[in-house]
Amino acid sequence: MYLRTTQRRNRDGSVVRYVQVAHNRRVDGVTQAEVLVNLGREDHLDSEGLRRLVGSINRYLGEADDAGHTVDGPGEGLSVVSSRPAGVAWLLDGLWRQLGVDTALGKVLGGRKFTTAVERVIFAMVANRAIDPMSKLATAEWVSHDVALPGLEAMDDDQAYRAMDLLVEADAQAQVQEAVFFAVADLLNLEVDLLFFDTTSTYFERDSDDGDGGFRRYGHSKDHRADLPQIVIGLAVTREGIPVRCWCWPGNTNDQSVLPQVKDDMRGWRLGRVITVVDRGFSSDANLAYLRRAGGHWIAGERMRDGSADVQAVLSRQGRYQQVRDNLRVKEVQLDSTPDRRWIICHNPQEAERDQAQRDDAVARLQAELDQIAAARARDAARAKKAGRKLSDDAHRKAECALRDHPTLGRYLRQTATGRLQIDRAAVKAEERLDGKYLLSTSDPTMTAEDVALGYKNLLEAERGFRDLKSTLELRPVFHRIEPRIRAHVLLCWLALLLIRVAERRCDSTWRQIATELGRIHAVTLDGPAGTVVQTTPPSDRATGFLRACQVDPPPRITHLQPA
């Protein structure tokens, strides 16, 4: 069924158009138009009456009108103004308030008056890192147009920068982290008997560093970008992976030098008896002694190839392993030279098989390279002898030097008295004794060897935190230049990591699955003659389960109502 028009020309030359309701019929295989209703002359039609007729038909059929809006009884005349994702931001805001971050920020900011809600602006930047990471300038546009944030309809980049400056002024950064952590510990009943600490680095896309005394400096890059200036970031987490505190240092800071500051900063939180777990990069004697101050203890990874007498004595000590897990065996060793330190050798049979296979491949590759160099040298020597000239050995020695200086293959080579390279079978045999093993030490006299080994394996939670900071939360690229705002940027990422870790732990699901499901909840703005209303779409059963697990009520059906 459709509308059609016909026309008739009068004697005076004027044209009259008529409107009809018609439909097509097939008669003897031929389609013919059949007029159902003559509506009259076009210039005499009641346009408003036609619109009412169309609206009535659409209401009866439940279909959309010409503008694409569904017309449904009481909603007649409403038009969709916008539709913004709201579910993920609603969940994050609920966790933000449960953890007391808003209260902690209120205490730090004091009674000062601001023209904008600083706490809401800070939350907006944290939510942006967890939902759709972008620069602060783009975040302001995102808040204003692309997401529904509770308590904040719009912001600009100047407000974002002012909020960042307030976040890290004086001792605000440490106060916020301390207040937030104790709220989390009380809310989740966290056990803070083990504290896992590690560092990483993040670089800046620029050609030069800030010079002496600057923050962005060249240093040992854990991202394999030694050509770019960087900063060093420290992270302490619990055994559940909940971030406790973060630190920032200049890019040329050595790992061995930061542990005393970490110990002193955490001592001020009065956590009680805490065992600090660190990797082998922090296990100098001075650092371990510092961790024992005020009754503290440590679990540390040890370097098995550093050649120290204690390590060699531990590795050579005979004894029987204790089976802890299918892929883990432990053996405890006591040395008279270190009465206050317990040594635990851990062995992973599956890892030992992988180490054996990788070493066999490396030795085979080395032998092939050496044979190729020897064959090329013999061939060049024969040609030089035939031509009556002296052999030039520079190219062959350059190839041998490249093998000798290789960071992983060079350990299996030795240089003979004639200057040639060959496989060091003694070094290969020595490496075989270390297959699948790693060495730990601890100062705690009460923990079992099994608890020490399993506790150290939880250090992977700190590494997982760094991985999520750099991937999910997109810590990099860092668009800031001055030190306070760089520190504020890292703190915002830390707060976002805290929120998603709490959500993952409560929902027993990954953040990606949680965000995808809740991202389907939208806040739809409708406008009409009676006013403006913002209505949220109903959550799915799975989204409702996530909200219930996080103890966050679903968003109300109507979040805003403004009469005309």
H helix runs in 99-135, sequence order: 101-109, 118-131
The Cα–Cα gap between 156 and 372 comes to: 64
Residue 50 confidence (pLDDT) above 80: no
The number of folded domains in the chain is 3
Q: In angstroms, what CA-CA distances link 306 with 199, 275, 454?
A: 21, 25, 24
pLDDT tier at 147, thresholds 50, 70, 90: very high
pLDDT tier at 213, thresholds 50, 70, 90: confident
Q: In angstroms, what CA-CA distances link 511 with 93, 517, 534?
A: 15, 10, 27
Residue 75 confidence (pLDDT) above 60: no
Domain membership of residue 360 (yes or no) is yes
User: What is the predicted pLDDT for the residue at 248?
Assistant: 94
Highest mean pLDDT among 14-18, 44-48, 272-276, 363-367: 363-367
Q: Among residues 42, 77, 112, which one ends one of the domains?
A: 77
> Regarding predicted confidence, which is higher, 132 or 386?
132
Distant-in-sequence, close-in-space partners of 4: CB < 8 Å, separation ≥ 6: 19, 20, 21, 22, 33, 35
Least Cα distance to 119 among 136, 106, 134, 135 occurs for 106
The Cα–Cα gap between 195 and 276 comes to: 5
The dihedrals phi and psi of 292, each to the nearest 5 degrees, come to: -85, -5
The proportion of the chain whose per-residue pLDDT surpasses 90, expressed as a percent, equals 39
Q: Among residues 394, 412, 432, which one ends one of the domains?
A: 432
> Regarding predicted confidence, which is higher, 182 or 300?
300
Q: In angstroms, what CA-CA distances link 249 with 144, 169, 206, 224?
A: 34, 16, 18, 18
The Cα–Cα gap between 532 and 562 comes to: 5
The total number of residues written for the chain in this structure: 564
pLDDT tier at 3, thresholds 50, 70, 90: confident
Contact 272, 191 (CB under 8 A): no
Angle, alpha carbons 439-445-450 (nearest 5°) = 50
pLDDT tier at 115, thresholds 50, 70, 90: low
User: What is the predicted pLDDT for the residue at 411?
Assistant: 86
- Which of 162-176, 201-215, 455-469 bottoms out in mean pLDDT, i.e. has the lowest? 162-176
Q: Among residues 378, 410, 432, which one ends one of the domains?
A: 432
Residue 259 confidence (pLDDT) above 70: yes
Mean pLDDT along residues 200-220? 90
Residue 127 confidence (pLDDT) above 90: yes
> Regarding predicted confidence, which is higher, 322 or 56?
322
Domain membership of residue 445 (yes or no) is no
In sequence order, what E strands does 206-315 have? Answer: 230-237, 243-250, 275-278, 297-302
345-349: long-range contacts, CB 8 A cutoff, minimum separation 24:
345/314, 345/315, 345/321, 345/437, 345/439, 345/440, 346/437, 346/438, 346/439, 346/440, 346/453, 346/456, 347/321, 347/436, 347/437, 348/436, 348/437, 349/436
Domain membership of residue 449 (yes or no) is no
b/e burial code for range 397-436 (CB count within 10 A of at least 16 → b): eebbeebeeeeebbbbbeeeeeeebeebeeebeebeeebb
State how beta strands 421-423 and 275-278 pair. unpaired
Contact 440, 344 (CB under 8 A): yes
The Cα–Cα gap between 274 and 292 comes to: 10
Measured between its terminal Cα atoms, the distance across the chain in Å is 38
User: What is the predicted pLDDT for the residue at 14?
Assistant: 76
What's the chain's average pLDDT?
Answer: 85
Domain membership of residue 366 (yes or no) is yes
Contact 195, 277 (CB under 8 A): yes
The Cα–Cα gap between 159 and 475 comes to: 21
Classify burial at 82, counting beta carbons within 10 Å of its beta carbon; exposed 0-12, middle 13-18, buried 19 or more: middle
The Cα–Cα gap between 423 and 316 comes to: 24
Six-digit token string for 330 = 């432990």
Distant-in-sequence, close-in-space partners of 118: CB < 8 Å, separation ≥ 6: 105, 109, 162, 163, 166
State how beta strands 297-302 and 275-278 pair. parallel
Domain membership of residue 212 (yes or no) is no
Domain membership of residue 45 (yes or no) is yes
Distant-in-sequence, close-in-space partners of 91: CB < 8 Å, separation ≥ 6: 503, 514, 518, 546, 547, 550, 552
Domain membership of residue 39 (yes or no) is yes
Q: How many CA atoms lie within 13 A of 447 on its CB side?
A: 25
The Cα–Cα gap between 165 and 494 comes to: 16
pLDDT tier at 551, thresholds 50, 70, 90: very high
Q: Is the peptide bond before 477 cis (omega within 30 degrees of 0)?
A: yes
Helix (H) or strand (E) holding 4: strand 2-9
User: What is the predicted pLDDT for the residue at 74?
Assistant: 42
Mean pLDDT along residues 317-341? 89
pLDDT tier at 122, thresholds 50, 70, 90: very high
The Cα–Cα gap between 321 and 329 comes to: 6
The Cα–Cα gap between 533 and 208 comes to: 53
User: What is the predicted pLDDT for the residue at 406?
Assistant: 84
User: What is the predicted pLDDT for the residue at 69?
Assistant: 47
The proportion of the chain whose per-residue pLDDT surpasses 70, expressed as a percent, equals 89
Domain of 14 in residue numbering reads as: 2-77
Domain membership of residue 428 (yes or no) is yes
